[in-house]
A and B are shown apart, each in its own frame.
Chain A
Amino acid sequence: MLAGNPRRSMFSVLAIALVVTLVATACQSTGTPQGSGSPSGNTSGKRTITVIAQWGGGERDAFQKVIDAFTAKTGVAVNYEQSRSLEALVRTRVAGGNAPDIVFYSRPGPIAEWAKAGLLVPLDEPVGKEILDPKALDAALGKSSQDLGRVNGSLYGFLFKADSKSTFWYKPASLQAIGGTVPKTWDDLIALANKYKAAGKTPFGSGGKDGWVLTDWFENILARVATPKVYNDLHVTHKVAWTDPSVKKALTLFAQIFGTPGYFPGGGQGVIGTAFTEGIGQAFGKTPTAEMFYEGGFVGSIIATDVNKDLKAGTDYDFFTFPTIDTTYGSPITGGGDLAIMFKDTPEGRALMQYIVTKDAADIYAATGNGTPSKLVDASKIPNDLARKLHDQVASASVFLFDGSDLAPSALGGDYEFTALQDLVTHPGDVDRIAQGLENFAKTAY
């Protein structure tokens, strides 16, 4: 019918053209930065910046305090987004041309990858007009905190939050009740576990459904049976093979502890069926089924804010340093943390990067009980003994090794290694097969 009337079909063509134009312009306008909609009432006309990190719960609240102080000082509003699948989110946003301003991320591996792809803003160039004044940076952060974010000599990121991952959490009352003492060596730990087992208790909780919990266990063991060089070469460059004798030794010790019946609630199957926070709950929940829980320093704040608010730090829960295995290698501290990196170079983004290395920011953050690598921190600002003990453990470490799986490429350290160690937890006799599988995979991943 319409086709019979040329004028009207002409009109419909115009109408369609108009709609298409409208849609196209509408799409375009969403791509431009928007200063409106800021929750903190930003009226200075400054751009709101987007920050993405993995922190939720208490960790998020702590960082929010730093953001609030920053906004109060500079008038720049910050839109904080939390994501547990941060890498997927950031990759998608970058591919879609909508990169966030600043990201805090715990894996130097992908950060180096992004830096090499030219996606990140270098923070120490050009000389004399650096985004971060090198003197201020050196005053705040040690070399190792900066080197983690250095790629081919340029600084793309630096450590903002640092956590020890060599902390073994336990219940002082439960330890006393059984007549045990804090274990200093691996043999002590096994003896204590057997003591608990003999008393009808389950010594360890674990949350191996989240694979990184298992990689952290493995890395602490490896750091205690191999040199720091072997540790780093295995993860960073794969110059050391997964079938290397020291790596296999670490895998074997790992398999022994996870493979011993009665050590974990539900055995190996229980470990891989339990998520990280559920694992904390096994040891520190209201109806506990386990006595100790190995994971990083952040476990303390998760117990206090999410798992069981009734417990008191120091008396109801405390930590000891992951026991020494071989005196040759001593007791290195493995740790994780989050590096700040910048995707978009804007005055507002620069302001935040500059702010978070200041003493003000470090003090505010330390006052929340979170770990900071900053040398400027006023120790009296740290709110409690436990947090101070954690800070001291990192500060006094003779050897500090960064979380190895976070140094490896994502496909290995963020995926295959997780499933391989879950495999080992449920098949503790298969060290050779699993080491070979890891080695085969690693060959394709670098």
Chain B
Amino acid sequence: MLTIHGREMQFCDGMTRRSFLKIGGLAMGGLSLPEVLQAQSASGNPSSDKALIMIFLSGGAPHQDMYDLKMDAPVEIRGEFQPISTSVPGIHICEHLPRMAGMMQDLVPIRSIVGSVGRHDAFQCMTGRNVAQQPQGGWPSIGATVSSLHGNKYPEIPAFVGLSPKMKTAGWGDPGQPGFLGAAHGAFRPNGDAQQDMVLKDITLDRLSDRKTLLTSFDRFRREADSTGVITGLDAFQEQALGILTSSRLADALDLEQEDPRTRARYGSSSPEPAGYGDAGPLMGDYLLTARRLIESGVRVVTLAYGRWDWHGRPHGTNFENARDHLPNLDQAVTSLLADLKQRGMEKDVSVVVWGEFGRTPKINKNGGRDHWPQVSSALLAGGGIRTGQVIGATNRLGEYATERPVHFQEVFATLYRNLGIHTNEATVTDLNGRPRYLVDHNQHKPMPELV
């Protein structure tokens, strides 16, 4: 928390100066903003425009019902869906992804993701690493790593934002942890801890949403604080913290009311309800739109969980009922994001990855579902300047294992880092023991030559 001592000053709405400035503690992982800024000041390359949006399909999406339909398999494996042709001759995907089919020239489905550790959480998708045998403090996520290596693009904009709400299945709501890089590089979570942050003494979130009043209050505070000389003597980081608190840039990015409603409508569902049953991320097109706005404001990495893909079957709906529910929403939201990025000239700078923690069993179970299958899964890449309009990899007739071009999670990470201007054969981050750590197992996993 940032606290400014001195005589108490009363605002026109009854808010005291001290309570006013107790903002920003939790959102940055418990550090005060000045501490965050101090840590981030040691980072380099703030001028990079490269960014990443990671869409995590919590629960493990069925690879054989999305980009890799198995029409030569028996019906108990093949399932209910039909393939459709796409804008790239020779590439076929599921009939329930027609918009992706229409823009396949801008996409790269990877049909052969391997190396999943089979855990029901976002850790491997956020770090590329196995949760076992971690260094002290833990492996940092890609968001934390980019925050560490590139720092903030603008002082008042966090480098790393996680949009997922908190979930009971905490692993699915994990935005990516800072690991040994420390809390200063943790994700800012406007839908998680930051919500508590925003409740000041006597000030509710509703009142905070009255931005005009709030900004007026900020301005008055600054004028009054300046006039009393309180600001004098603050160190640079405290002044920057004040800048974050009084800047509207981040608030504007998060405020979808400022977006053209027609654009917002194109992204599809805006329901914050958990998707599917039980604990899940929502099927919320608004999250993807918010991600775009955050990138435009200067955020470097945005992660979000979309939907609940852990479809074991009835009575919570068969795999195919859930797929008919989720796939059109995903199709609409992702293609709207990509079209939006392109329209704004951002597509070469912004990488987008859509994936989950593992694939699903080839054989449909007796409840009409598919169970966990870490042996192979799929991913979708776009943007970031990669060579698109191609499929990478293949699986066998039954979708059980990769037969061509197995792609390890860390190869995807090496590619994403490269897109972000970070070369994984050179870049390191320092762990808690002072040891430099490469971002991936760089001797084994390199950026995918088919894409870069």
A binds B: no
On A, residues with C-beta under 8 Å from B are none
